[in-house]
Structure 1
Amino acid sequence: MKLSVFFLSGALVVSGVAAAVAHGGATGIVKERMDAMGAMGKVMKSLSAMMRGETEYDASAVRNGAEILQSHSGEALTKQFPEGSIEVPSEAKPEIWSNWEEFSSISGQLELFATALGEAADNGLSKPAAGGTMMGQGTMMGDPSHMQDPELLAQMPVQGLFNMTAQTCSACHTKFRIEKK
């Protein structure tokens, strides 16, 4: 699990850098959503360093970052994608609109996990257990019904919620974002 955080974190950092370069010429709603995605990318990069132990853990920074993620997710995110807004330099795939239900669901998942991440900030980082796994991560992951309960999610270690948030971002990018060449 720890190794997947490193790879996913690296992918998010590369995505953030690529997004910053790609914003040239964007206007209107496309620029607004690219700016929102850039803000979320910066948060994920900052929190990723904290989760990997490269920077000191700061519960306040986790709460603030989670608030930024939450403010750009759920309905706030879906509103950034009016039908057909894929003019260059947009990185949105047309599949967003042909599979709107899944896109909306992922946006809602992101909001749920970002909210729980902020609420769990005071939980701090868990210590690796014997065998290198993070304590507390496996307990809820096996039962999907817990994945929708914000109160139970907020009891998880911060790394688990960060990983779930990052995986949600990655799933959306894989399905609905044009890959840079």
Structure 2
Amino acid sequence: MRPVGGFLSLWAGSTVARTRNTGRKMNKKTGLFAAGLAVAASAALAHTGATGVVLERMQGMTALRDVMRDLTPMMQGAVPYDAVAVSEAGYVIASHSGEAMQKLFPTDSLMGVTYAKPDIWSDWQEFANLSEELRTYAEALSSAASTGLQAPETMPMVMDDTAPETAQTAPTPESLRAQQVANLMGFTPPEIEVGVTRRMSTDTLMAQSMQQMGGAEDIFAQISGTCSACHAKFRTGRN
């Protein structure tokens, strides 16, 4: 029969070993958690001094920056394409653009720490147009996510339901681009004429317009271009 003292020694040694292993795991988790807090803290320090609507728009711009950063490797083919992630990213961008973005820039809100230039209010229409353009492209990105990086190369003939015996050719890229720009500017252009006498229905035009915008990669490039144009004119400093 094993002495009680020997049993207690073995039990104590085993307990100490388990405690040390648990301590190592806890230290590792604590270290990772601390690292995460450090990253969050450094991000918060970038906005030190900002309050109210200025802080809100800084947080919104940071969200846009993070989404664009996360999508870039995917659009470059460096990581596998994820249609769900791309679609969700489009929704996030759309939620921070258009009217939602404009509301965060009330007249002359330049108090405290801000990267906004006074030009936003002196050329408000241009700023509003760019924010709406960003929303349009973001919604297009969500819609086109399932098609992949590249859109189909060929555009099929379109049959108008109102006259099934007659085929329509797709509108030219120039005409679609003109209509998209006009829509962003708030105008309502006349319907695009197709052929000699036929006109495209609204649903058909929208479908062709979306297809003309290309796949996720092309739309992402448009989003990047819109952000760059807005920053170049209306933003100072850096995150």
TM-score of Structure 1 vs Structure 2, range by shorter chain: 0.7 to 0.9
8 A contact 2:102–2:128 mirrored in 1: yes
> In the alignment, what sits opposite 2:67?
43
**AA in 2 matched with 1:165:** I
**AA in 2 matched with 1:38:** T
> In the alignment, what sits opposite 1:78?
102
Count of matched residue pairs: 156
Does the C-alpha gap of structure 1 residues 33 and 179 become closer, same or farther in structure 2, counting only changes over 3 Å?
same
Tell whether 2:24 aligns with 1:24: no
Give me the whole-angstrom Cα distance separating, in 2, the residues matched to 1:19 and 1:176.
22
Tell whether 2:187 aligns with 1:154: no
Shift of 1:167: 0.4
Does the C-alpha gap of structure 1 residues 86 and 145 become closer, same or farther in structure 2, counting only changes over 3 Å?
same
Counterpart pick for 2:146 among 104, 122, 129? 122
Give me the whole-angstrom Cα distance separating, in 2, the residues matched to 1:147 and 1:87.
36
Shift of 1:141: 7.6
8 A contact 2:108–2:121 mirrored in 1: yes
Matches within 5 A, 1:96-115: 96-115=120-139
Give me the whole-angstrom Cα distance separating, in 2, the residues matched to 1:146 and 1:159.
22
> In the alignment, what sits opposite 1:145?
178
Aligned residues with identical type, % of pairs:
42
Does the C-alpha gap of structure 1 residues 177 and 28 become closer, same or farther in structure 2, counting only changes over 3 Å?
same
8 A contact 1:23–1:31 mirrored in 2: yes
**AA in 1 matched with 2:117:** K
In the superposition, the TM-score normalised over structure 2's length comes to 0.59
Give me the whole-angstrom Cα distance separating, in 1, the residues matched to 2:99 and 2:149.
30
CA RMSD of aligned residues (A): 2.8
> In the alignment, what sits opposite 2:225?
167
8 A contact 2:107–2:121 mirrored in 1: yes
Deviations 1:1-24 (A, max 9, x none): xxxxxxxxxxxxxxxxx9875312
Give me the whole-angstrom Cα distance separating, in 2, the residues matched to 1:34 and 1:54.
29
Does the C-alpha gap of structure 1 residues 119 and 141 become closer, same or farther in structure 2, counting only changes over 3 Å?
farther
8 A contact 1:20–1:38 mirrored in 2: no
Unaligned ranges ≥5, structure 1: 1-17, 128-134
Give me the whole-angstrom Cα distance separating, in 2, the residues matched to 1:66 and 1:171.
19
Give me the whole-angstrom Cα distance separating, in 1, the residues matched to 2:210 and 2:122.
33
Q: Which moved more, 1:109-118 or 1:145-154?
A: 145-154
Deviations 1:25-46 (A, max 9, x none): 2110001000000011111011
Shift of 1:103: 0.4
Shift of 1:151: 4.0
Shift of 1:142: 8.9
8 A contact 1:153–1:161 mirrored in 2: no
Shift of 1:150: 5.8
Flag the structure with more relative contact order, 1 or 2, with Cα contacts below 8 A and sequence separation at least 6. 1
Give me the whole-angstrom Cα distance separating, in 2, the residues matched to 1:44 and 1:74.
17
Helix, strand or coil at the partner of 1:47? helix
| Structure possessing the higher radius of gyration over alpha carbons | 2
8 A contact 2:91–2:139 mirrored in 1: yes
Counterpart pick for 2:92 among 68, 71, 74? 68
In the superposition, the TM-score normalised over structure 1's length comes to 0.76
